[in-house]
Amino acid sequence: MADRIRPKMERGARAKQFQPFDALRGFREALAQKEREAVPRKELSPEQEEELDFQLRQMQPGDLVTVEYFSEGAYIRTTGAVVRISRADRVLEVENARIPFSDIDRLFPTRV
């Protein structure tokens, strides 16, 4: 029987066959999230609440701000432009984050 000549495999396709196989997709990420230790929520003093309220009243859509807030057992810091401030719903929207006022720990307004 004659040997068949196979066309060469593209370099990208060839590399794929040597990549590790993850039989349980997302399992490693889920384990990493479970390993993360939950942090208790901090209680703000009346002075801190007053300062936070003052900062929120001064803020306008388009302002650049860094927000530190509590979410799912951890404190997260995000920076971006203020999209919307809803005093009726008590929510601050910063680019991709919708943050209830009650979860905000600190605000760092950025002056341009």
* Total Cβ atoms within 10 A of residue 37: 7
Inside any domain, residue 21: no
In a domain, residue 16? The reply is no
**In the chain, how many domains are there?**
1
Q: What's the token pair of residue 76?
A: 């997260």
Pairing mode of beta strands 74-86, 64-71 = antiparallel
Per-residue pLDDT of the chain (112 residues; tens, 9 = 90+): 556 787 887 877 777 767 666 677 777 887 777 666 778 888 999 999 999 999 999 999 999 999 999 988 889 999 999 999 998 999 999 988 899 999 999 998 876 5
24 within domain boundaries: no
Whether 37 is in a domain gets the answer: no
Q: Are 73 and 39 in contact (CB under 8 A)?
A: yes
DSSP state of 96: T
